Structure 1
Amino acid sequence: MISLLFVSCSDRKQQIASNNGFAVLPMRKSNEAVATFAGGCFWAMQESMIQLKGVNTVISGYAGGSTANPTYEDVLSKNTGHAESVQVYYNPEVISYRQLLHAFFFAHDPTELNRQGPDVGNDYRSIAFYRSPEERKTIAKVMADMEAAKYYPGSFVTELEPFQVFYPAESSHQDYYERNLWDPYIRSVSKPKVMHVRKQLPQLVKKECLK
């Protein structure tokens, strides 16, 4: 049985289909491109990306490992090789891949190796998955530029990996941030990341999310 989750940032809405407890990847629209990133807990990363202009849907899930169809508990075991990730469906005529990368790097600390704050392990590592040689070059250029600009005191440790497969996470993890604003973890760990993107890139954030 397939159902739909509706969530909003004021009047922002996204629909995520679910089936047997897991999210279902949407069909890519003709005017959409797809990007995949891993940068710590996907609760904050999903909210950081869905608030951007031109981003239509963001799915939380798992990528970068070898286990097929993993569960959240499987990934937490640190034995799958997967990292908590998000898949972003966006309109490249509204927001560019380069702009998405800047938001990705502001939504987490790309200088922390195999961790993000209190979350420790390879499942929280930073990865930018590329789908073409051009995307790989763009990732490398943005990383180099941001390192040179000293946005962070350390060197970037983000992995550059060719995209292979993305497994959607359980429906309970989709739009978790928006549905659990008073959760202590969301308030103390996730919210500062989301707010950092809004502070650094206000011109890219949907107006209803800046209210």
Structure 2
Amino acid sequence: MKQFVPILMVVLLFNCNNHAHNNPKKQQAMTHNTPIEIPLQNGKARAYFASGCFWCVEAIYESVIGVDEAISGYSGGHTKNPTYESSNTGQTGHAEAVEVIYDPNIVSYANLIDVYFSTQDPTQINGQGPDWGSQYRSIIFYQNDEQKQIAEAKKAEWAKKIGGHIAAEIMPFQKFWEAEAYHQNYEKRNPNNPYIQNVSKKRLDKLYQSCPLLVKKNVQDLIKDLNKH
């Protein structure tokens, strides 16, 4: 996927031509769907975000207090059963996304969106960092009117803060498709991968710098050790 950062730039020149709206009618219809709300399970809620490479986003959210797990997958498109290969064509409409399983008594949905905007370039359209293409675009998926209002308020707040346009879309959640097994917990399993070292860990450091009170204690200690070297 993102094995070697130098090679990335050549590959991603192709990805720049990927657009989520290759089937504009089907994709536009997604924004008008009634959101599907996932009920609490054992007191745990689920939230869905797209923000560039799901390796990065998974690692970020698994570092947040109150989060049990983050799962890499695909969402936001108009096709069924997307895969990494099909989403990379830009023709499925899907973006790399994560499912965040969290305890709402410990961390709120608003907190999760603060983490979301703090750990990305909120102005970058159709990508994050070196990853370009509609499959890497930023999306907040809401499940009800309350979440939609929170997302819109936070987006407006960030636009005012930076004095510019925020690229993230706000879409009704429909379905999350879990990604292939080799994508799950990728950063934990491949800490020395060049992409992890040069891209993902920098985004994790943004979390520590911007939202220190939301970072798990063991992750804080790890980041401090990394920054000493």
Determine which of 89, 93, 101 is the counterpart of 2:113: 101
Specify the alignment match of 1:120 in structure 2.
132
> Does the aligned pair in 2 maintain the 1:78–1:121 contact within 8 Å?
yes
Determine which of 199, 203, 227 is the counterpart of 1:189: 199
3-state SS in 2 of match to 1:192: helix
Note if 1:168 corresponds to 2:196. no
Give the aligned residue type for 2:171.
E
Note if 1:134 corresponds to 2:156. no
Unaligned ranges ≥5, structure 2 = 1-38, 222-229
Give RMSD over aligned pairs.
1.3
Specify the alignment match of 1:4 in structure 2.
none
Unaligned ranges ≥5, structure 1 = 1-26
Pick which of 111-120 and 124-133 moved more: 111-120
Specify the alignment match of 2:51 in structure 1.
39
Give 1:158 deviation, angstroms: 0.7
User: Which TM-score applies when normalising by structure 1?
Assistant: 0.84
Give 1:115 deviation, angstroms: 1.4
3-state SS in 2 of match to 1:177: helix
Give the aligned residue type for 1:131.
Q
3-state SS in 1 of match to 2:203: helix
Give the aligned residue type for 1:170.
E
Specify the alignment match of 1:202 in structure 2.
212
Greater helix proportion:
2
> Does the aligned pair in 2 maintain the 1:39–1:110 contact within 8 Å?
no
Give 1:189 deviation, angstroms: 1.1
Give 1:179 deviation, angstroms: 1.1
Give the aligned residue type for 2:102.
Y
Give 1:28 deviation, angstroms: 5.6
Give 1:148 deviation, angstroms: 1.9
Specify the alignment match of 1:177 in structure 2.
187
Number of equivalences: 183
Specify the alignment match of 1:154 in structure 2.
164
Greater strand proportion:
1
